[in-house]
Amino acid sequence: MRYLTLMVGSLLVSGTALALDAPQIGSGASLTADIGGKSDTVGGKSYAGVVNALGAVSGKSVVKQNLASIGDASVQANAKISLSVKDAGVVNALGEFQGSAVVNQSIASVEGGAVGANLKLDTTIGNAGVVNVVGAIGGEAKICQSIGSIGDNCKDKPL
Amino acid sequence: MGIDLFKTLGLVILGVLYVVPVLGTAAEAPHVGDGASIHVTIGGSGVVNAGAAVAGYANSKQMIGSLISGNVGGNLNLSTQIKNSGVVNVGAALMGSTTATQAIDTVKLSGTASGNVTDQVTLTGSGVTNVTVGVASNAKACQLIGTIGLNCN
């Protein structure tokens, strides 16, 4: 009964996954992300940071941070991605002991899929820090950072 | 016997069902239409990509304003401005190996653009650094700025 329950549950999950297609986006798509800086609605400044971090002792770890990016999607013409980082920190980090680690940070990028004509990627990084870092002991580490780029920077071997 | 067979079949089916969605969602190199424009401005701040490994392998890859892979079906406009800031890519290894790859405003060998490519890099009061350090290790550092058709293989 235990196995039957597990199987049925997995069938539902896998069936759902199979039914999901890559997103189809029409013309004139716009992705805008403003991190930190002056807020028009509040009238003040925000120094908030965006942090994605993980500490692992053993095994395989993947830490991935995507900001204003297009993954595996079909997007029609005139897509625009704008990212502005002001007075804030964007950090993707991992500490790893004995294992393998992939730390991938992608900002205002197109990693896959199909995008129509007139794609516009605008990235502005002001008085802020954008950091992607990993430390590994007794293992393998791949550290990938792409900003305002087309393609997958983290696809190649190793890892 | 019947229960064992049921367990075995169940696990096999589970394995197949878990593998298929993973294969089905694998991302391919992007296809982008004519007139693509990438503009990056970095001012007064630091952009850092760093990795360190002890008794292991560290591969640090930093791409800014670049066509890494995929196809652009027409004109491609790349421009990057870096002002009063530092852009740093570091790989370090002790008793292992390390590779550091840094590309800014670059069209790599695996990417194609069928139209005109304009490529402009402006550095003002800033530093762009790509460093790899190996102690008792193999080390490789590769820096590409405003290039077309080069890679680090």
Domain locations in chain A? 22-147
Answer whether A114's CB lies under 8 Å from B30's CB.
yes
CB contact under 8 A, B61 and A128: no
Mean per-residue pLDDT, B141-146: 82
Write the pLDDT tens digit of every residue in A64-111: 888 888 887 888 888 888 888 877 678 888 887 888 888 888 888 888
Residues of A in contact with B65 (CB under 8 A): 123, 147-149
Q: Is B14 helix (H, G, I), strand (E, B) or coil?
A: helix
Residue B135 CA to its chain's centroid (Å): 25
Q: What is the layout of strands, in order, in the sheet containing A140-147?
A: A59-67, A99-107, A140-147, B57-64, B97-104, B138-145
The tokens of A119 are what? 């794609």
Q: Say how far apart CA B16 and CA B26 lie, in whole Å.
A: 16
> Cβ contacts of residue A3 below 8 Å, gap of 6+?
B6, B7, B10
Q: In chain B, which residue's Cα lies nearest the Cα of A124?
A: B41
Per the CB < 8 Å rule, is A148 touching B38? yes
CA torsion, ordered A144, B83, B109, B92, to nearest 10 deg? -40
The listed range with the strongest mean pLDDT (A5-14, A79-88, B51-60) is B51-60
Beta bridge partners of B31: A114, B71
B-chain residue closest to A122, CA distance = B39
Burial letters for B48-81: b for 16+ Cβ neighbours within 10 Å, e otherwise?
A: bbbbbbbebbbbbbbbbbbbbbbbbbebbbbbbb
Largest CA distance in chain B: 76
**What 3-state class would DSSP assign to A75?**
strand
DSSP strand E in chain A: where?
A: 24-25, 30-38, 45-46, 50-56, 59-67, 74-75, 80-86, 89-97, 99-107, 114-115, 120-125, 129-137, 140-147
Q: How confident is the model at residue B109 (pLDDT cuts 50, 70, 90)?
A: low
Q: What is the ipTM of this complex?
A: 0.73
Domain boundaries, chain B: 30-145
Closest CA to A144 of A72, A71, A64, A49: A64
Query: Helices A2-19 & B2-24, crossing angle to 10 degrees?
Result: 20
- Using the predicted structure, report yes or no on whether residue B42 has a pLDDT greater than 50: yes
Contact call for A125 and B31, based on CB within 8 A:
no
A135 touches B14 (CB < 8 A)? no
Name which of B14, B47, B130, B117 is nearest A145 in CA terms.
B47
> Is the pLDDT reported for residue B141 higher than 50?
yes
Question: What's the pTM value of the predicted model, to 2 decimals?
Answer: 0.74
The average pLDDT across B83-101 equals 83
In chain B, % of residues over pLDDT 90? 0
Q: Which amino acid type is present at position A14? A: S
Name the residue of chain B whose CA is nearest to A96's CA. Answer: B53
Question: Percentage of chain A with pLDDT > 90?
Answer: 0
CA distance A139 to chain B (A): 5
Provide, as residue numbers in chain B, all residues whose Cβ is less than 8 Å from the Cβ of A85: 45
> Which residue would you say has higher pLDDT here, A83 or A14?
A83
Per-residue pLDDT tens over the stretch A25-45:
777 777 777 776 554 544 555
Q: Which residue has the higher pLDDT, B85 or B10?
A: B85
